[in-house]
Amino acid sequence: MTADPQPPPAPVRGAEAVVLVGGRGVRLRPLTLSAPKPMLPTAGVPFLSHLLSRIRAAGIEHVVLGTSYKSEVFAEHFGDGADLGLEIEYVVEDEPLDTAGAIRNVADRLREPDVLVFNGDILCGVDLPELVRTHRDAAADVTLHLVRVADPRSFGCVPTDADGRVTAFLEKTDDPPVDQINAGCYVFRREVIEDIPAGRPVSVERETFPGLLASGARLQGYVDESYWLDLGTPAAFVRGSADLVRGIAPSDALPGAPGESLLLPGARVDADAVVDGGSTVGAGSVVEAGAAVHGSTLFDAARVAGEAVVERSVLGAGAEVGAGAVLRGAVIGDGARIGAGCELLDGARVWPGVELPPGGVRFSAD
């Protein structure tokens, strides 16, 4: 006897979303020299498309993007959001306002009692309707999505009591008391956002949340075991893209069925080449005979010559990898050329348009 299928979760009503996409993505250079981090091709579409698809699937229709760096790129791509079934508005920061300041900066566009706020570089599978339900059941002022990590020393810790109420915000320490960390997704009561000081930088972690705790406000934690990844580094970006392609990370925006590889229109992979591990081969890109591409992302019009190996790496638009070259954990900027026989390892980065001559150049960032 089989169990009855579970009905889909009820869509979220009375809520809207804010996505913070104003960062410069310094840790992802040189990729972010040409595009903001949330607009980098990730499993075939801009990363932000994956997040917006999950917001829409939860039943939320109004989204405000808090932009700054290369702000025009977002509106050019997504427009008013109608193609996604959304209403998207854009608010530009004239100067950096930090996390809470950026949230306060969009307050005049908000209209619902509850506001989901997302950091625009987090890939996660949190159950958004359940997150909102927890917020409302607890009558919370703010609810934070929290995740458990194996090594929380690199993060601030967020302990909670038996009822899930947040009790403190702790800075990074060598001996963290809990393994729960701030996952970069929140539900705010709109009135709390309106009380954030306007017109100056404000940090949610260092000012807003500690201040709310000190005032006796209810901050609730929602802890789950869903997929979570901060895409702030090249290694994490490549992993996140591969996890999306393979269906490990959730998305309704993947342009194809999950599998070991994703080939975009016009991509050509020779029958004697190997492309696997969740790799994406961008539109018009070429992988020649004998080449191997493992767990990597090739932007549009990239080329990997015969017998080359590309592993856990990113090739920018129009980048070329010469015959027999080996790239492991490398980032290659748009239009760069890697000569035959070169070896780039362990975080090596090549800026746009740079040409490395053939002849066995070996480089490691370590």
Report pLDDT for 184: 85
Residues 6+ apart with CB under 8 A from 340: 305, 322, 323, 324, 325, 358, 359
Residue 250 domain-assigned?
A: no
Report pLDDT for 365: 57
Confidence check: pLDDT of 6 > 60:
no
Distance, CA of 23 to CA of 13 (rounded, Å): 29
Mean pLDDT of 234-257: 91
Look over the chain and give the mean of its residue pLDDT values, rounded to a whole number.
88
CB 318 within 8 A of CB 352: no
pLDDT in tens, 10-21: 667 788 999 988
* Residue 127: count of CB within 10 angstroms of its CB: 16
pLDDT-based confidence at residue 24 (cuts at 50, 70, 90)? low
**Whether residue 358 is found in the same domain as residue 215:** no
Closest-CA residue to 145 (of 118, 121, 168, 120): 118
Report pLDDT for 2: 45
pLDDT-based confidence at residue 360 (cuts at 50, 70, 90)? low
Mean pLDDT of 109-115: 93
Residue 3 domain-assigned?
A: no
**Whether residue 182 is found in the same domain as residue 73:** yes
Residues 6+ apart with CB under 8 A from 45: 253, 254, 255
- Distances in Å between the Cα of 260 and the Cα atoms of 43, 49, 124, 293 are 11, 21, 20, 11
Which helix (H) or strand (E) is 15 found in, with range?
strand 15-20
pLDDT-based confidence at residue 137 (cuts at 50, 70, 90)? very high
Confidence check: pLDDT of 181 > 70:
yes
More confident residue, 151 or 254: 254
Choosing from 235, 268, 294, the residue where a domain stops is: 235
Q: What DSSP assignment string belongs to 192-212?
A: HHHTSPSSS---IIIIIHHHH
pLDDT in tens, 270-303: 999 999 999 999 999 999 999 999 999 999 999 9
Report pLDDT for 361: 60
**Whether residue 22 is found in the same domain as residue 170:** yes
The CATH number for 26's domain is 3.90.550.10
Count structural domains, the chain: 2
- Report long-range pairs for 24-28 (Cβ below 8 Å, ≥24 apart): 24/68, 24/69, 25/69, 25/121, 25/232, 27/232, 27/233, 27/234, 28/232, 28/233, 28/234, 28/237, 28/331
Residue 99 domain-assigned?
A: yes
**Whether residue 218 is found in the same domain as residue 277:** no
Report pLDDT for 68: 75
The CATH number for 276's domain is 2.160.10.10
What are 166's two structure tokens?
């947040």
**Whether residue 228 is found in the same domain as residue 303:** no
**Whether residue 187 is found in the same domain as residue 328:** no
Confidence check: pLDDT of 260 > 80:
yes
Report pLDDT for 9: 56
Query: Which ranges constitute the DSSP H helices of 119-173?
Result: 128-137
Report pLDDT for 3: 46
Residue 117 domain-assigned?
A: yes
**Whether residue 95 is found in the same domain as residue 131:** yes
Give 129's DSSP letter: H
**Whether residue 295 is found in the same domain as residue 207:** no
- Distances in Å between the Cα of 255 and the Cα atoms of 73, 243, 251, 315 are 21, 14, 10, 19
Distance, CA of 148 to CA of 182 (rounded, Å): 9
* Whole-prediction pTM: 0.87
**Whether residue 156 is found in the same domain as residue 284:** no
* Residue 323: count of CB within 10 angstroms of its CB: 16
Residue 1 domain-assigned?
A: no
Report pLDDT for 364: 58
Closest-CA residue to 344 (of 261, 239, 233, 234): 234
**Whether residue 231 is found in the same domain as residue 297:** no
pLDDT-based confidence at residue 199 (cuts at 50, 70, 90)? confident
State percent of the chain over pLDDT 90. Answer: 57
Q: Hey, is 318 helix, strand or coil?
A: coil
Choosing from 175, 201, 235, the residue where a domain stops is: 235
Confidence check: pLDDT of 50 > 70:
yes
State percent of the chain over pLDDT 70. Answer: 94
Q: What is the domain extent for residue 278?
A: 260-364
**Whether residue 218 is found in the same domain as residue 289:** no
CA angle, residues 154, 156, 159, in degrees to nearest 5: 130
